[in-house]
Chains A and B, each alone.
Chain A
Amino acid sequence: MSNESGDRTRSDEFSFFQDQRVRSGFYQVLAVAVVGWLVWYLISNTAHNLEARGMSTGFDFMQVSAGFDIEFKLLEYAPGVGTYADVFKIGVLNTLLISFFAIILSTVLGFFIGVLRLSNNWLVSKVSLAFVEVFRNVPLLIQIVFWYIGVFSLMPAVKKTLDLSFGAERLLLNNRGLYMAWPVPAEGFWMTVLAFGVAIVAALLIRHRALKRQAASGEQSNVLLLSLALLIILPLSVFFATGSPLAWDIPVLEGFNFVGGATVAPAFLALLASLSIYHAAQIAEAVRAGILSVNVGQGEAAKSIGLKPGRVMSLVVIPQAMPSIVPPLISNWMNLVKNSSLAIAVGYPDIVSLFMQTSLNQVGHAVEIVGLTMVFYMLVSLIISALLNIYNKRVQLVER
């Protein structure tokens, strides 16, 4: 230190730049300035490039009619008539459709495999371990392409169609996809639907009553059979009483292909199979880890008060395992939705292949299209993580 500063006070010497607030303010301004400059630089470059190439901006192109056809769609659409906005909607719906079915299948399969992994049967647990390791360690893209090219495209030709419904011709599989008989509701079918709704409400009421009774007196009553009977018999009897108002649209071989019923393309089947299996392997691990995270003493204590193995699981172990199973489960669902974008490899028209590839190649507008697609995925992620947060809050409340 120099001599001059000898008589200065400490606070003078550490005045300005040592002040916490000044420093934090400085760093923040610096960070914002750097990021702001970068964004401005990229935007100005983009604007310049777009102008130089004579490209227009804005979302007007969404109202222009698209010239290409779409194989698989849930909405009315015709090439040359439907707009790019329709294409976007169809892509979104297709992504949500495949994700929905794959989430259900993978969760069911994942729980099943995860429980098998913990079986005390050595062979069963090793077989499920092999399943998990094989499907976890092979890239999803290879699995998708394999299911598409190696399995569903190698199905018999139309002439030798496989009948999965044992000769009833209601469920047919060939190399062009899966053909299903499709129910067509006739006049008066709403009464059956109504009866089903009533049955659900009644079953819930019965369950509520039974729980209340158990809480008050400790007596347990088996409501499962009663509810099941109610759920099946009531709608069925109404259905037959109103004269079976339901027709079946059955696929029929006409010329070179089947017509009628509902068709599922091989690409959809391949995507469904691979997404479900890949994520089932991941979910199985989450389920296993969750069940193992429950203290062994819990299961032993439950056994010692005389609960049967099934009830030990369902009343003691699983409820405590759920808080550690659900978060990875939900993040797996989120990954599944994102991974469904690999549909592009097999030509299933999801949002990425329809909108980000085909539409972008047709109309340009890269910035708008990429932005819209990403916003869609971000929204889905936001919704799913909101679900997770709600669940976590509930679990935390229960805990303390």
Chain B
Amino acid sequence: MAIVTLEKTTARPAPLSETTALGWLRINLFSSVFNTVLTVISLYVVYLTVSSVFTWGYLDATFIADNRRECYKNSLTGACWAGIINWFNNMFYGRYPDAETWGVNSAAVILILWMAPLWMSRVRGKILIAVSVVVFYPFLAGYLFAGGAKSLLMNIMVTGAIVAFALNLLNTLAGLFTDTSIKEALIKVLGQSTAAEGTQRKVLFALLVLCFAVVFTLQSNWLVTEVSWTRWGGLFLTFVISGIAMALSLPLGIVLALGRRSELPAVRVLSTGFIEIFRSVPLITVLFMATTMFPLFMPDGFFLNNLVQVIIAVTLFNACYMAEIVRAGLQAIPKGQFEGAHTIGLGYWGTMGLIIMPQALKHMIPNIVGNLIGLLKDTTLVSIIGLFDVLGMLRSISKDVPWLGLHKEPLVFGGLLFFVICFSMSKYSRHLEFKLSAGSRR
């Protein structure tokens, strides 16, 4: 005999301890005597920290003042943020002339606009976008930062950058609105969609050459006021150093990693030696080496400025860490992939470039972001050897006459600034890791 009810039994409500806030509190904070004691202690610690920081940094703080004495008049115990606000421009641009800071700002905006399509799923041709950023952007940004008369190479590269940037913008619009790449959109606009592929290619190429020629003549009259690198500073300089070092150390790191995993003993020994030497010494010693020994390395009459020395040092140093990241990524690729690539007749570079690296890069991205965070933090060390990066600027506030001895606030502000940048980057990298592992997650 079976007991059957025709109606479905309604679900009973979840127990109170699962649904109410009180139940949550009991489970998570007061489940035992020991846990309660821990909760009370941590509450006290949190209260002490938050209240003292809040009182110092906000309640008792002075935001508007002309010098430190006025801050003291307002409050003896509070923070004096007026000094930071007063130095805001210097902190971001260093001693860059105020009239020229638009160059820095527009370079930043261009970079954001250029890179943004990489995160848009509807936009086509992401690899080309990434390559164009790496190849052309540095020249455009470099010209916007340094200015002065352009050499022929600079003329060509700046033109290339402007054309590539414009194409990229159009491509983004085409992707967002019509879900096509700029190539298809242009063909359609020109009414050539039925023409042979060869004709299409010729039309597009002619168009590209025309664009290039027009932009080249237009931009040759464009002149940005020259700004010496000695006036660069602040967060801007920090980004310049870490950005260039990052862009250069990735390819160098890949080469070193391939060298280290090479089957040729001489290549392996050389790469391993190079990597291990730089990884076993602190960055500051490499920086000192750059400033004291690089001048001795140079041939007669050749002179590297301090900034270039520092960038070379940071790049060499970081490339070795990058090499280890790449190596770890390569090691994660099963041997079958190498063998499969060999079977279909690919040589060394074909195997690496088409089969192994694309897969390995996926494994490496979170670590590369981690390395970028570390690099950004390490760039503060250049203030020790006399460059005025963001930390150098922050520390010179206390030497400025109106703000003499204002030490704590700039450091706290700098810490906060780096925390915001690095923390959001590491959160993003963790999100990326999660997203990229979707295939192997069950």
Interface residues of A (CB under 8 A from B): 24, 27-29, 31-32, 35, 42, 45-46, 48-50, 52, 119-124, 127, 133-134, 136-143, 145-146, 149-150, 338-339, 341-342, 344-345, 352, 356-357, 360, 366-367, 370, 373-374, 377-378, 380-382
Contacts and interface: CB of A to CB of B under 8 A. Distances in A.
Question: Interface SS of chain A: helix, strand, loop or mixed?
Answer: helix
Given A32-B266, A124-B39, 7 more contacts: A42-B297, A120-B28, A138-B377, A138-B418, A139-B391, A141-B391, A366-B293
B427 to A, nearest CB: 9
A145 B39 contact: no
Contact of A141 (B39, B381, B407): B381
B267 A27 contact: yes
Contacts, number: 155
A126 to B, nearest CB: 8
A146 B415 contact: yes
Nearest to A149: B407
A370 B285 contact: yes
A370 B296 CA distance: 13
B387 to A, nearest CB: 13
B270 interface: yes
B411 A27 contact: no
Interface residues of B, number: 54
A121 B282 contact: no
A138 B419 contact: yes
Interface of B: 28-29, 31, 35, 38-39, 42-43, 45-46, 263-267, 270, 277, 279-285, 288-289, 292-293, 295-300, 373, 377-378, 380-381, 383-384, 391, 395, 407-408, 411-412, 414-415, 418-419, 422-423, 426
B284 A133 contact: no
B38 A119 contact: yes
7 contacts: A24-B263, A120-B35, A142-B380, A338-B283, A366-B292, A377-B281, A381-B281
Most A CB contacts (10 A, CB to CB) among B38, B292, B407, B418 go to: B292
B266 A142 contact: no
B201 to A, nearest CB: 30
Given A342-B284, A370-B289, A149 B264 contact: no
B288 A357 contact: yes
A49 B391 contact: no
Contacts of A31: 264, 266-267, 270
A32 B270 contact: yes
Q: What secondary structure prevails in chain B residues at the interface with A?
A: helix
Given A341-B284, A370-B292, A137 B300 contact: no
B285 A356 contact: yes
B310 to A, nearest CB: 15
A35 B380 contact: no
A342 B280 CA distance: 15
A124 B264 CA distance: 53
B296 A366 contact: yes
Nearest to B273: A35
Nearest first, the 9 closest Cβ-Cβ pairs linking A and B are A381-B280, A28-B266, A122-B28, A338-B282, A366-B292, A139-B377, A137-B422, A341-B282, A149-B407
B285 A373 contact: yes
Nearest to A28: B266
B281 A140 contact: no
B398 to A, nearest CB: 8
Contacts of B267: 27-28, 31
A122 B29 CA distance: 6
Given A122-B29, A150-B411, A28 B284 contact: no
B242 to A, nearest CB: 12
Contacts of A121: 28-29, 31, 35, 38-39, 42
